[in-house]
Structure 1
């Protein structure tokens, strides 16, 4: 596996642990529909959190969340619509980003709730 893929997988594992520690139930990881993949689908209360995880080995070139493009957002919306329809769910839906990045010898985790309103 390429080094960047391993880093991404590591970031997703940290994100799952972080969400679980904060009261979320993980429903799916790496859920795919057509060309879209949702990194994490989690539930907290009556809310379905669609979580995009971005991991970087440094923030020298920008924060991880800066690398989410409008096309990715469109794909996430399409995929979650399919997920909700397929599973006949009735939840409030929000889109979060978990940014994982290394500073010195530590990995930082930033959870941005309703992230696409912040871009």
Structure 2
């Protein structure tokens, strides 16, 4: 059985490591403001310009994850189904735009043929 002194030293060293390590990391880690101040002015400007878009994208992502979590399926399957639906909608949109462009071309051809 270890002696009382050895046990106390071990307990003290463990406490210093478990409490002091994270405290040291917290002390040394720079804040977001300090990191932002280290950017050059061009990066600061670009970061400020895109901040709202990035926040909106993140909010949209979180809302989608919440909706996926509400479904009975696993999140991965719900996400896969949603992506498939989005691809189908994009394909239909492209086809509709292509059809509209073709219709406009035909209309222009008819107008040119009538005008000649």
Same fold? TM cut 0.5: no
Instruction: Report which of the two structures shows the higher radius of gyration computed on alpha carbons.
Output: 2
Greater relative contact order structure (CA < 8 Å, 6+ sep): 1
Instruction: Choose between structure 1 and 2: higher strand proportion.
Output: 1
Higher helix fraction (1 or 2): 2
